[in-house]
Structure 1
Amino acid sequence: MTGRRDVDEELRARLREAAGAHTPDRARILARVERGMTVRDRPGQHRPARPPLPGWVRVAGATAAVAGVLVAGGYAVASAVKDDAPTQRSVATSPGPREPVPRGPGSREGGSREGGPLWSRGAVDPHSNEFWAQSNITLRTSAPLTALTVELRVAQTGSVTSTGAWRSLPEGDFTFTVDERDGFLVYRWTLERGRTVPAGEWMFAGQYNHERGGRDAGGDGYSATATAASGRLSVEGGFTPRG
C-alpha cells in the first residue's frame, strides 16, 4: 500500500510540473486539424460523394476540435491535482458613518445643552407685506423666570418707523420702550420687579413700516436675558425670512 501511495504522489507531482511548464500551441494544433480535413477531401480516395462544406463550417469545426483537445488536457491535469485547491471564503464589511443632520437658521437654544432652561427663535411674520412688517421673537422656558429683558433690533434699511408692538404676556407686567439707536429701531421689554414669567412659550413682536418692496431682515437681531432658580440665562439670534 505504501508503494502504491508513493507512486501516486510521484505521478501527481510530475503532472503538476508538466501542467506548469506546458503551453499549448493552439495555432499548430489548428493547422494540423485543418490539414487533416483537407487530406480527407482529396480526390482519388474511395469515399462516398458528398457536397463540399463551406469554408466557415470547416474553420468552426477545426476550432471546436482544438478547444476539445485543450479542455480535455486541462481536465486531466485538474482532476489529478483537485485535492490541493484552496477553499473560498467570504468577507463581511460594515457600513460607513452617517452624515450629521444640520439645524435650521434663526434658532438659539438654551436649557440642558447650553446651561439653562431657555430656548428662542426669531422670524419675520408671514403676514408682512411690501410696505409693512412684523418681527416675532419666540421664547420658551421650562422654569419660571423672575427677571426678563427682551430687545429687538430692526436695521434702518430705509423709512423704517415703528407702528406698534405687543407680547403674549400681560401688558402690565412689562415696561416697554422704542427708540432709534446706532442705525437700529430698538424695541425693549423689561419685566417689572416682583413679577414672574411662568414656564411656557411666549411671543414678543415689533411692527414697523419700511420702503416699498421686499425688505431684507439679514441685519436685524434680538437678545434676551433672564433669571431663573438655576441662575442667569441669555439667548440671542437673527430672523428667518417670512414664509
Structure 2
Amino acid sequence: MDEDLRERLRAAAASHRPDRARMLARIERGTAQEPPARPARTPRAPMPWLRVAGAAVAVCGVLTAGAFAVTSAGQEEPADGQRAAAEPTSPGPASPSPGRGGALPAGKGPLWSDGSLNPNSNDYWAQSEVTVKTARPLSALTVELRIALTGGVNTTGAWRSLPAQDFAASAREEGGFLVYRWALKPGRSVPTGTHTFAGQYNHAEGARDTGRDDYTARARAAGEQTSVGGVFTDTR
C-alpha cells in the first residue's frame, strides 16, 4: 500500500466522531418499548390413556353405587315382622306349617295352641313351630319352646309373626334343652288371631326324634290367667 493511501485513511479515521447523543437516544427508545406479547397457548387435548382412565373411574363409581343399593334393599325388615334372630346356617326362616283348620288341639279358655315340625326340615336342620290362637286380646304372653339337646343340636335362629319390638326374646341351653323364650313386654298387647313362634337349629345327620321336645304358652286375657302346652308333631 502506498504512503498516499495510508495518509488518506488516517485522515478519514481522525475526522470520524460518533454522535454519542444520538446513540443514547436510540438505546432509550428501544428500552422503553414493551416486548411483544407471546401468543396464548392452545390447551392440549388430554392424552388418550387419560380419557380411558377417567371413563374407567366413572364406571367403577356407578357399579359401586349399584352394589350399595342392592345390598341396602336386601336388609329391609319383612313387612309381616318375621325375621330370624340369628343368621341361619340352613334354609330359613321356613314358612309356617299349613294350618289344620278348626280349633287347635290344645286349648283352655280363650287360648289354643299347636306344636309341629316344619315340612322344610331335613336330615341336618329343623324348624319347630308353636302356633297360638287367641279369641281375645292378650295383655301378657310368654311362649317357651324346648328342644332336647340330642346329637349336634345348636341354634341357627328364631322368629315370630308378631312384631319383634313387642317381645323380649332369648335362646339358651338350660337343663339339657335348647330353650327359646318370647315374653311380651309390659304395656304391649297381642291381638286376637293366630300367631306363630319358631325356633331353628342344626342337628346330627339323620331323622331326629322329637319325642322329648315340648312347649308351653302362658297368657292373661281380661284379667284371667291361662296356659297351654304340648309336644311336636312331624308333619313332613
TM-score bucket of the superposed structures, by smaller chain: 0.5 to 0.7
Partner of 2:209: 216
Q: CA offsets, 1:207-237, max 9 Å, x none? A: 0000000001011000010000050010000
Partner of 2:143: 150
Partner of 1:27: none
Moved more, 142-151 or 226-235: 226-235
Q: For 2:106, which of 101, 108, 116 is the aligned residue? A: 108
Q: For 1:132, which of 112, 117, 125 is the aligned residue? A: 125
Give the deviation of 1:109 after TM superposition. 1.4
Q: For 1:226, which of 212, 215, 219 is the aligned residue? A: 219
Q: What amino acid maps onto 1:232 in structure 2? A: Q
2:180 is the alignment partner of 1:182: no
Matched residue SS, 1:165: strand
- Which structure 1 residue ranges, 4+ long, deviate > 2 Å from structure 2? none
Partner of 1:121: 114
Partner of 2:78: none
C-alpha contact (below 8 Å) 1:146/1:228 kept by paired residues: yes
Tell me the distance in 2 between the aligned counterparts of 1:211 and 1:109. Answer: 33
Q: What amino acid maps onto 1:222 in structure 2? A: Y
C-alpha contact (below 8 Å) 1:124/1:241 kept by paired residues: yes
Q: CA offsets, 1:55-78, max 9 Å, x none? A: xxxxxxxxxxxxxxxxxxxxxxxx
Partner of 2:229: 236
C-alpha contact (below 8 Å) 1:107/1:122 kept by paired residues: no
C-alpha contact (below 8 Å) 1:123/1:239 kept by paired residues: yes
Tell me the distance in 1 between the aligned counterparts of 2:128 and 2:134. Answer: 20
Tell me the distance in 1 between the aligned counterparts of 2:169 and 2:230. Answer: 20
Tell me the distance in 1 between the aligned counterparts of 2:105 and 2:200. Answer: 21
Matched residue SS, 1:212: coil
Identity, % of aligned positions: 56
Superposition map of 1:56-67 within 5 A: none
Tell me the distance in 2 between the aligned counterparts of 1:154 and 1:242. Answer: 17
Matched residue SS, 1:187: strand
Tell me the distance in 1 between the aligned counterparts of 2:133 and 2:173. Answer: 28
Tell me the distance in 1 between the aligned counterparts of 2:126 and 2:203. Answer: 8
Unaligned runs of 5+ in 1: 1-105, 111-115
- 1:226–1:118 CA distance, 2 compared to 1 (3 A): same
Q: What amino acid maps onto 1:171 in structure 2? A: A
Tell me the distance in 2 between the aligned counterparts of 1:135 and 1:170. Answer: 19
C-alpha contact (below 8 Å) 1:128/1:242 kept by paired residues: no
Task: Calculate the aligned-residue CA RMSD, in Å.
Answer: 1.1
Tell me the distance in 1 between the aligned counterparts of 2:208 and 2:163. Answer: 30
Q: CA offsets, 1:147-199, max 9 Å, x none? A: 00000000011110000000000000000011101110000000010000000
Q: What amino acid maps onto 2:183 in structure 1? A: T
Q: Calculate the TM-score normalised by the size of structure 2.
A: 0.55
Give the deviation of 1:241 after TM superposition. 1.1
Q: Calculate the TM-score normalised by the size of structure 1.
A: 0.54
Matched residue SS, 1:129: coil
Q: What amino acid maps onto 2:222 in structure 1? A: A
Q: If each structure's helix is expressed as a fraction of its own residues, which one has the higher value? A: 1
Q: What amino acid maps onto 1:187 in structure 2? A: Y
Give the deviation of 1:107 after TM superposition. 2.8
Matched residue SS, 1:172: helix
